[in-house]
Amino acid sequence: MTTVSLLPFKNKVPRINSDCFIAPNSVIIGDVEIGSRASIWFGTVLRGDVFYIKVGDNTNIQDNSVVHVTTNKYPTIIGNNVTIGHSVTLHGCSIKDNSLVGIGSVVMDECELGEWSIIAAGSVVKPNTKIPSGKLWGGLPAKEIRDINDMEREWIKELSNNYVELSKQYLSI
């Protein structure tokens, strides 16, 4: 099995809680902090080389995603209990607690996604977009679709919990 690439950059070393699952072949560079029970899945890159990245507790960043920052201007901050779907690009943005960014989406510089919000799969959120809490946004470019409902709130909780449990299985291999 290949190892995780944890690369220091300019004296900044990734800080990862010991109870996280970090998949082999993922790459974590520089000023990156990863919270408790978070999971970083196969082929994912977190590049905190020119500013910092913070990933909250119970958050999962799924396969082949890329998380980067805007040089010395916008970090990427991902809250607690967040699900970042497969092949998502996050760049210099803020994703608040209990949110979901769907498969293949792009969230650009200085965007803020409020708590309990969803970005539909394949969406592109343009720079400087502020998405209020509890909203579903989607499209190219992404626009507000509607408020999320109680079933979707439960789904967001379930996704986060499922990935915490799945990562425990991977950690026990």
pLDDT digits (tens, 9 = 90+) for 54-85: 999 999 999 999 999 999 999 999 999 999 99
Between CA 88 and CA 153 the distance in angstroms is 21
Domain that holds residue 67: 5-171
Q: Is 91 helix (H, G, I), strand (E, B) or coil?
A: strand
Domain count, the chain: 1
Q: Would you say residue 118 has pLDDT above 50?
A: yes
Cβ atoms of residues 160 and 170 within 8 Å: no
Dihedrals phi, psi of 86, to nearest 5 degrees: -60, 140
Q: What's the confidence (pLDDT) of residue 3? A: 67
Between CA 138 and CA 38 the distance in angstroms is 26
* Segment 153-166, tens digit of pLDDT: 999 999 999 999 99
By percentage, how much of the chain surpasses pLDDT 70? 98
Q: Would you say residue 1 has pLDDT above 70?
A: no
We report the CATH number of the domain holding residue 102 as: 2.160.10.10
In which band, very low, low, confident or very high, does the pLDDT at 2 lie, cut at 50, 70 and 90?
A: low
Averaged confidence pLDDT in the chain:
96
Q: Would you say residue 142 has pLDDT above 50?
A: yes
